[in-house]
Structure 1
Amino acid sequence: MDEFVPLWDEFQQLRLAREHFPMWTEWGIEDAFTAVHSLGLSYLVTVGQALGFAACAEYPVDPSIRSDGVWWDKVTREPMAIFEFERYKDGSELRDKVQNLLIAYHRLNLQPRLLSLIYWTKNFYPLGDEVTQELWSIVMHGFRTSTGQTITGADPRLLRIFEVQHRAAEGSKFSLKGFSERRRS
């Protein structure tokens, strides 16, 4: 996963975020509607392209799965990374997103080297790590879909989970502070 070190650096430094998304990093946005989701997907495409990947938002990897972000190697044309970006509500949506990542991984012939879930919480209050531990189990052991199809697991080291961190801005707005990685215990 060395090819993703610049991504981890960006998540810490936010250089591209500050350059291209001042409405998120400086001006502040409200935790309303789909503003954070739209900015998150746009940011992932911008970062992917800046790092030399072909990058797309909302890519249909399967008739039933539209991944929030997919990055491809421009030379080999292999899919390198799949992203899901979601708001935490009760935890079931994060499980659904990780299941989507695993299905997409299989549909893309086990080629992606990164499966990443990025989430934020309502009103941007951070969650504890215990919320995310079940997600690695899904990747490691697989799951059965609602239609009874068995989706086999994958190496849990492929999954990287990040929580979007914000700080208070003007009025009821929040600005992007960074991304905190949740670790598997």
Structure 2
Amino acid sequence: MANVNDVPGRLTVEAASSHLPMWTEWGVRDVGHFVHSLGCTFLTAVGRDLGFTAVSEVPAPREAPLAHVEEDVRSDSVWFDRTTKRVALVAEFERYAGKQKDLSPKVETLLLAQHRWDCKDAILLLAYWSVGLVTLPDHDSLRGIAHGGYCAMGGVRVPGNPKARIVFYQFVVRAGQDGLLRLENIIRRGES
């Protein structure tokens, strides 16, 4: 039976190497959205490994009171429970170079997707990748968005979910002597 609580044991460099050796062993160039694609693929693969029906680049339904907030809400990975057919986890994967403003919109997207899927108990997973270790983001501030909500474009208030469970993972990559990036570590950074 699929269990989202098994995520920490599966978000490992070893699992990434098994699925995507080009990211861990061969090395990749930092061009376009290549690392982003690897991260989305890996998160979806982990969901499938855990027994979920996991899909990448999933648009949330445009239904309910927040249907007209923003345009599309497209999540990097969404895991569906095979038994309940409900969303169990919504994930975003984003580059992070030490600027909080890069991650705040991703938490907003996670929260809006949670509302649109009507899955208030689904885990929200924000995975961010950095070249080497960088100053950590303010995780409490990011949690505050999920718990307290935010004001979307057009002035519409997206309510928070005080019971939202948001987890953070940092994917650390390093450039080798060949100039290629390799995934070196995956670090769990926080949870509420």
- Which of 162, 180, 191 pairs up with 1:155? 162
Structure 2 match to 1:64: 72
Q: Is the 8 A contact 1:136 1:156 kept in 2?
A: no
Higher-helix-fraction structure: 1
Amino acid at match of 2:151: R
- Which of 140, 143, 162 pairs up with 1:136? 143
- The whole-number CA distance in structure 1 between the counterparts of 2:176 and 2:114 is 38
How many residue pairs are counted as aligned between the two chains?
181
- The whole-number CA distance in structure 2 between the counterparts of 1:160 and 1:152 is 19
Amino acid at match of 1:21: L
Sort the Cα spacing of 1:86 and 1:159 in 2 relative to 1 into closer, same or farther, 3 A.
same
Q: Which runs of 5+ in 2 are unaligned?
A: 63-70
Aligned pairs for 1:46-65 (under 5 A) are: 46-61=45-60, 62=62, 63-65=71-73
Structure 2 match to 1:84: 92
Q: Is the 8 A contact 2:78 2:87 kept in 1?
A: yes
- The whole-number CA distance in structure 1 between the counterparts of 2:161 and 2:80 is 20
Farther-moved stretch of structure 1 (146-155 vs 101-110): 146-155
Q: Is the 8 A contact 2:174 2:184 kept in 1?
A: yes
Q: Is the 8 A contact 2:86 2:119 kept in 1?
A: no
- Which of 155, 179, 183 pairs up with 2:186? 179
Sort the Cα spacing of 1:156 and 1:29 in 2 relative to 1 into closer, same or farther, 3 A.
farther
> Identity, % of aligned pairs?
32
The offset of 1:170, in angstroms, is 4.5
- The whole-number CA distance in structure 2 between the counterparts of 1:110 and 1:49 is 19
Q: Which runs of 5+ in 1 are unaligned?
A: none
Aligned pairs for 1:11-22 (under 5 A) are: 11-12=11-12, 14-22=13-21
Amino acid at match of 1:140: H
| Residues 36-90 of structure 1, C-alpha deviations (whole Å, 9 max, x = no match) | 1010111111111111100111100045210111000011101000000111253
**Corresponding position: 1:9 with 2:9:** yes
**Corresponding position: 1:94 with 2:93:** no
Sort the Cα spacing of 1:172 and 1:125 in 2 relative to 1 into closer, same or farther, 3 A.
same
- The whole-number CA distance in structure 2 between the counterparts of 1:150 and 1:140 is 13
- Which of 117, 120, 128 pairs up with 1:119? 128
For normalisation by structure 1, the TM-score amounts to 0.88
Amino acid at match of 2:39: G
Farther-moved stretch of structure 1 (158-167 vs 130-139): 130-139
Q: Secondary structure of the equivalent of 1:129?
A: coil
